[in-house]
Structure 1
């Protein structure tokens, strides 16, 4: 076991100061991902800053009807929260679709967003992985990649991001709140929190060294609009998505699209916000043909590999089914 120092932070300021942006420091909350990676030797921090007991574990209603969710709220509590279920059902359903009940009782919202990829080459120290060891190569490209990315990947990495709730938050136009050393504060759209791999797949997010996720803001503009989340996986529970889709849809009195947001999971290094499809549907009636054309335009950019060529068609059907449900036309 590699020795490390441990600090239990009492305030956000104490946590960010203790971390200080040091390369060997890590924040620890539920630990359901970080501790596993430490056991495997993938993560070898010299300092753990425990933020699990910070006062970031509640759901607050904003004055205009939105919600601010503390980063330390546990997945099971968030999924069952009556305001989340009523106003942002896609978020609740995405949490229930992830992991197991035991893990949801421990894992936090912030940790869920920041979990590392589940590509099998990443935790295996005997295999090349540019995300784990930059410059070592991507073992998955010519190896096992049935579950891997078809959108936005690069020659250096074809991993996908595993979080289900990140997909729902992207579709709900949520913002992620960050606090850094020295008291700096900013927010990032949930859809932009995670990076595409490019030449630096080791950088999962746009979070700067030492910044701490303190909460997520769900906007009032989306509250109460019809939303849904659906996930396709190899087994009925405790499995990561082959593809998932979260959508928000609002129709005007004439049945045309006044607002639409669609995000896919399991297809890219980040929740994939389907901006082309959204633009094509805005102001149109969400007929089966219109939705199919919009999704075809979105997924035309897909670049599948040898064993995951099924994913674009799967995502196309999945997105169509979710939007049809929300429009009241069940497939």
Structure 2
């Protein structure tokens, strides 16, 4: 067991996850600081404050690691990307769902970061991050349940016995009678529907406050994509007579005064795109019906093309911060 990391350099995998953590937490700090200005419900405020404290602690840890290793600190997002004087853009209910999703996303992100860490201190950090993200998700979920706002996936009758699959029709889904969705397929459809409904509300608010016409058009397109994807998932569920309850108290106000810089809006959109592709990939791997697999494949391509267009906008505006990269050996060899 390694008792000291003084002589052990960070691996490329560790550099990648630490850089990503810094960028995501800087985004979280900026967004939540604006939410805290307007939130009225004391229970929701407490959950937001917990999330903000976590993000700040994470930034401190990553900053200390980079300083120790003499690695440049990323710029990320700063207080200059937030206008705390802007009026309220989102209701309290949206903020609570946002934080719950932030906890869920953190659990997924840190479950990937931990296996990419070799050094003991980095593993301990991401083990702690995993635990705190679980706590954040549970805190937000508890408040949602106490207020009667928690959105549950559809119920189905309990099975009476276990079964094995004996016919290839289990994989079918193009023509003729289709088999019912499995609980695994239902859970992925529901979560993707929920996440897109929340994303649509977030981007609708962003579209109202974007300052650049190019950024505004891009975000409006993103909101429309989220609505379209929600309709796709909802149709699969409704075809199996599965109810998909959603809350409507998450839409933004009519404010058009920008609380966030266009850079923040684009970085947040990029984070949504990355998460969406990852979730769709997992959903594709867990869905055995051919029509579901085809739908996820098509939606991944759509999000991927949308993401590339967003990256181009960020490059054109000088907003894309380059992740740590390997040296260009060919260039070095030329002198």
> Which category describes the TM-score, using the shorter chain as reference length?
under 0.3
- What TM-score do the two structures reach when normalised by structure 2? 0.26
Q: Which has the larger radius of gyration?
A: 2
Larger relative contact order (CA 8 Å, sep ≥ 6): 2
* More strand by percentage: 1
Q: Given the two structures, how large is their TM-score scaled by the length of structure 1?
A: 0.26
More helix per residue: 2
